[in-house]
Amino acid sequence: MTETNLHELVLTRLIPASPAALYRAWTEPDLIMRWFAPAPFSVARAETDLRPGGSTCIVMRGPDGTEFPSSGVYLELVPNARIVFTNAYTRAWEPSAKPFFTGIITFEPEGSGTRYTARARHWSAEDCAAHEAMGFHEGWGRCADQLAELAAGL
């Protein structure tokens, strides 16, 4: 196993929607709120500042009302193709207390749909293992299903 594999979790799907629809669902707050949390969780708030260094904050809400905020910054935005973000910074390049991962989301045309790939690159192998144990594949997989359903109607 390579060093990258010890630090990276990957989810990929062929989604019957355009790259533009998937990009919109990842960048427009009203759309993020409709798919980003695995049911029965929901999204209480979504904020985006779509530029490198711009902040993002998504607050998931559990069935019992507990909120789980996730803040970070965008590192790269290529419309309809790629989004890179990290929680290593909170906003305005302020370091976070505990960086956990960098997300790399790609949208590649394939046939009549899009090859959607979500990568979570962690700072350590231990963080990667912890994220996997938290249910990365199940949770992000459920979200990908919800994303696909939403994007099909855009």
Give the pLDDT score at 4.
57
Q: Count CB atoms within 10 A of the CB of residue 144.
A: 18
SS3 89: strand
Give the pLDDT score at 2.
46
Give the pLDDT score at 91.
81
Give the domains, in start order, of the chain with CATH numbers: 3-152 (3.30.530.20)
Give the pLDDT score at 78.
98
Closest CA to 66 of 32, 37, 36: 37
Whether the CB-CB separation of 47 and 59 falls below 8 Å is answered with: no
Give the pLDDT score at 6.
84
Q: List, as own/partner pairs, every contact residues 66-75 make where C-beta atoms lie below 8 angstroms and the sequence separation is at least 24, other chains included.
A: 71/96, 72/96, 74/49, 74/50, 75/102
DSSP string, 34-75: TTSSPTT-EEEEEEE--STT-EEEEEEE-TTS-EEEEEEEEE
Written as tens digits, the pLDDT of the chain (154 aa) is 345 588 999 999 999 999 999 999 999 999 999 999 999 999 999 999 999 999 999 999 999 999 999 999 999 999 999 999 999 998 888 999 999 999 999 999 999 999 999 999 999 999 999 999 999 999 999 999 999 999 999 9
